[in-house]
Structure 1
Amino acid sequence: MAENEKAKAKTEQAKGKVKETLGRAVGNERLTAEGKAEQSKGDARQAKEKTKDAFRH
């Protein structure tokens, strides 16, 4: 299950980066903000998984 959560985190980060880049390219501030938010969500999920891993070992 942890691997699934890690994959979700990476996916969210990647999707967020694409949205942010696309938003900047077309000048859409809302899309840029959504991308940043999605990246942050992925970062938080990844940090949570790293914390779990640290306590498992």
Structure 2
Amino acid sequence: MFAVTCPTCRRRYLVGARSIQAFRNTNDGPVAVVRCPAGHLLEHEFRTRAPRPAPAPTGAPV
């Protein structure tokens, strides 16, 4: 389950995988077209909010 915010309803919903109508991968992360419980379609980005870690310097302890 994941949370989505419907701009039409102006509400936040907890929805499951069955709400996903379409899914695609982008360079910025996965994006899904989701149907809110009221029936509206919205686009939801599954981007991670955490920044990507920088590579460790050569020879750094693991």
TM exceeds 0.5? Answer: no
TM-score range, shorter chain: under 0.3
**Scaled by the length of structure 2, what TM-score is found?**
0.23
Q: When you count strand as a share of all residues, which structure comes out higher?
A: 2
Bigger Cα Rg: 2
**Scaled by the length of structure 1, what TM-score is found?**
0.24
Q: When you count helix as a share of all residues, which structure comes out higher?
A: 1
